Amino acid sequence: MPSVPPLPVQRSRGMRDLLPADMRAFRRVEDAFRAAATRWGYEEVRTPTIETYRLFTAAGALTPEMLSRVYSFLDWDGWSGERVVLRPDSTIPVARAAAEGNLGLPARLFYVQNVFRFSETDDREDWQCGIEYLGAPDAIGDLEVAAVAAETLDALGLKAQVRLSHVSITRAVSESVQASARNGVATHGLGALRGNVTNPQVAAFLEVALQPAGDPALLDNLAALAHSSVPAALPAIEELAGVAKALAASGRTVLIDLGMPRDFDYYTGVVFEFESHGESWGGGGRYSPGGPGTASTACGLGLEAGLLASHMAPTTRERMVVAVTPASPSDMGRAISVARALHRGGISAALSGEPGASKLGVTVSGSSLVARTPDGERAMSALDDVVGLLIQYK
């Protein structure tokens, strides 16, 4: 088979081409997500690839590590000194767009778009299926967003389990120890406190809290210890237990994992992560779209669309295309009619100069039609019969 002639230039390092095989798998993921989100009343948005750099520093939500890895540059208006970035994240732009467009609350929004971040590995462009439920009510909002994620993964045949935590529990424990012991909690989770806690009650609480991935019943045990150690954590434990039990009741496998590292400068409540086949497919949680410390609430979700698509690729079939071949130039008009009839039957068909271009074909010669399938060739006179035959191979 001839191939596209090579060009002397390759794609920019770390960027991603989605070729037909990738796109077929990607569309499966995207369609599953879009269907689930739409069922739950979410509406799609899309934000610009380029945003101002200030948007991300003003929100205060990105860590210095993330901010120092954005693609920033001076564009045509750069004479003003204002830098722009390729969006490193979609949550902040969606919140900005919703505010700029005066959307009423609550706003149930979803998107499928790419983000750009520098990385040492050659993976600098990522695609995400995301949800921003702005003005989401506590607990109920968390459950709904988690349901969209779980249903998306169900539709892809990935029976995922949900890992749950609550950053207010982490924060309460962290604040009950001396400041010097808190290093690393924001990035490495509650586990970073282990060994740094001198109060025996708090140490006991921490030991139970750090049990690897337990059942929701763990939270009842933890609440019992919290009264005498970290009482400030009680409301969060209770809220997390409510969400965990409701998710379990809806048939989900739930794991409580309070050691889960989550940036608690950013998240403000329940956080979750979906995993199966040894991969984390994404997660999310409650945050303040107005930046840390503001009263606004939202629940967000991001699924790794690129990762999911690569997982789905081996089981995603190529679509069959019927080659419709006019035997002579005078048959070209009829060949188009034959292709259209196949299209109406939901079959992909393309005109071809060679009968062997596809495993499925129709040769048009005057009023006679010859259908070719892997099971042999059949001469047919009625167009409907051709459609009826080929539809079985779709």
Partner 1 sequence: MTVKFALPTGDARAAVGAMLEGAGISTRGYEPSSRQLRSVLEGAGLTLRVFREKDIPIQVALGNYDLGICGDIWLTELQVRFPLQRVVRIGSLPGPRNEVWLCAAPESGLAEAQIPERQALADARIVSELPNLADLVAVHLRIPAYRLISVYGSADAYPPEDADLVLMPAADAEAVRAKGMVPLHRVFAGGIALIANADALAGRDLAPILAKLGPLFVLEEPALSFPASQPGVGMATAHPEPETLRMALPDGHAQRHTPAALRGAGLEFDGYDEKSFVRRPVSGIPGLAVKVVRPQDMPQLVARGMFDIAISGRDLLHEHLSRFPGSPVEMAVDLGTNRYRIGPVVDAAFPAETTAEAVDIWNRLGRPIRIASEFPATAERFARDHHLQHTMIIPVAGASEGFVPEDADFLVEGTETGTSIRANGLKMLDPFMESTACVIVRRDPFTKQTALLADLIRRFQGAVAAVPAV
- Does 80 bind partner 1 (CB under 8 A)? Our answer is yes
340, 313 contact by CB (below 8 A): no
**What residues from 287 to 306 belong to the interface with partner 1 (CB under 8 A)?**
291
83 binds partner 1 (CB under 8 A): yes
Residue 49: DSSP 8-state: S
- Which one, 235 or 291, has the nearer CB to partner 1? 291
Under the phi-then-psi rule, with left for phi > 0, alpha for psi from -120 to 50, and beta for the rest, what region is 3? beta
Please list every residue from 45 through 74 that binds partner 1, using CB under 8 A: 54, 57-58, 60, 64, 67-68, 74
Q: Site for partner 1 (CB under 8 A): which residue of 5, 19, 79, 353?
A: 79
Question: End-to-end distance of the chain based on CA atoms, in angstroms?
Answer: 23
Number of chain positions touching partner 1 (CB under 8 A)? 18
Q: How many CB atoms lie under 10 A from the CB of residue 13?
A: 7
CA–CA distance, 87 with 48 (Å, rounded to integer): 8
In DSSP notation, 18-37 reads: --HHHHHHHHHHHHHHHHHH
Q: Does 15 bind partner 1 (CB under 8 A)?
A: no
CB of 83 to partner 1, least distance (A): 7
In angstroms, what is the minimal distance from the CB of 327 to partner 1?
A: 46
**Bridge partners of residue 267, in order along the sequence:** 287
CA 127 – CA 119 distance, rounded (Å) = 15
Residue 76 binds partner 1 (CB under 8 A): yes
Q: Whole-number minimum distance, CB 70 to partner 1, in Å?
A: 10
Q: What does the alpha-carbon distance between residue 325 and residue 311 come to, in Å, rounded to a whole number?
A: 36
Residue 82 binding partner 1, by CB under 8 A: yes
Residue nearer to partner 1 on the CB measure, 61 or 360: 61
Judged by beta carbon, residue 113 or residue 288, the one nearer partner 1 is: 288
One-letter identity of residue 227: H
Per rule CB under 8 A, is residue 123 in the interface with partner 1? no
Give, as one character, the DSSP assignment of residue 232: G
Residues in touch with partner 1 (CB under 8 A):
54, 57-58, 60, 64, 67-68, 74, 76-83, 120, 291
